[in-house]
Amino acid sequence: MRTADFDYQLPRELIAQTPVEPRDRSRLLMMDRTRDVLAHRLFHELPSLLRSGDLLVLNDSRVIPARLHGRRADTCGQVELLLLRREAPGVWQCLGRPGRGLRPGARIVFDQGLEARVIDAYADGLRLVELNDEALVERVGHVPLPPYIHTPLGDPERYQTIYAGHTEDKKGSAAAPTAGLHFTPELMERLGGAGVEMAFVTLHVGLDTFRPVDEDDPREHKLHTEFWQVEPDAAAAVNLAKREGRRIVAVGTTSVRVLEQAALLAEQQGHTDKLAYEHKDIQAGAGWADLFILPGHRFRLVDALLTNFHLPRSSLLMLVSAFAGRERVLAAYAEAIRERYRFYSFGDAMLLV
């Protein structure tokens, strides 16, 4: 397996710069893996494409205004911090630019009295900083749009899912779980009316969403860990669906990572309850996801996947290829390019069943 095996050429004009309005009017490329056929649909048709009893698993993480623009206290030189991961109250792992000069002890000042002190410096521009007043980030920071989007976003809420949580434990993503951007309140109501159930898990999306795999062999690539959480009601819904033979439909690659990480953990820990062990029941809990899903991965929970179109050579494209087969996925991408689908974060979606 080589990283080059997951490459493809995308015309620049197919990179979506703005979201579709309304959200659920995006296009949907449906792939039937068993019959090896594709169908061109619209996202708002989703209730008719799923089955009564299907369990949709969605990531309710909220994107934080993680991009901070400030100045070094000693030189007044401009600095940008991208908050990536909350390590402790007020302490964040971040990407600092320019990295030169952001040594331990350096102080950065922002608007409205917000300050950051560099605690430690790592490779690749990563820094550990302590903020003097974490609450000010909501007022000072900006939503960190992906680097391939060059059009300013008029409404920051368009880079949030409508079901993103508002409690502190739900805030933490540096990028949106983009498969969820297509949902509207009306669509979710129609899904419920069609007998489709929903469960919410949390994974705070980090830097790897945009980072290509640079190694020739993807198995040598190391993903940054991302915080995940499964609450008791979600674990119970997933376990019941599995026991009853109903499909689990992951909304986005982040939901896949949570489910498969939790399933792998349950498998490793084992169960004293024979029935729970046979069904690989997952447990409520939280931790740091480090699972890199590549072709050859045995999916333990996910039966269908709803996802956007991903960047070439990315870990996300590799995950989708693991689920549906590399050649099949790249053929579907080629079809989407021919049909002028919109790609990446604000683009169209795929449903793989």
pLDDT of residue 270: 66
Report CA torsion sign: 230, 234, 240, 241.
negative
| Domain ranges, ordered by start, for the chain | 3-63+158-352, 67-140
On the question of a common fold for 3-63+158-352 and 67-140, the answer reads no
* DSSP string of 60-125, one letter each residue: --EE---EEEEEETTT--EEEEEEEEEEETTEEEEEEES-TT--TT-EEE-GGG-EEEEEEE-GGG
How does pLDDT run across 221-272, given as a tens digit for each residue?
Answer: 988 889 999 999 999 999 999 999 999 999 999 999 999 999 999 888 765 4
- The secondary element (H helix, E strand) that includes residue 80 is strand 78-88
pLDDT tens, position by position, 7-44? 999 999 999 999 999 999 999 999 999 999 999 999 99
What confidence score (pLDDT) does residue 271 get? 55
Residue 200, φ and ψ in degrees, nearest 5 = -120, 130
Answer whether CATH 2.40.10.240 is correct for domain 67-140.
yes
Q: What is the pLDDT of residues 180-237, one digit of tens each?
A: 999 999 999 999 999 999 999 999 998 766 678 989 999 999 888 899 999 999 999 9
Q: Is 71 helix (H, G, I), strand (E, B) or coil?
A: strand
* Correct CATH for 3-63+158-352 of 3.40.50.620, 3.40.1780.10, 3.40.50.2300, 2.40.50.140: 3.40.1780.10
Per DSSP, what are the bridge partners of residue 129? 92, 118
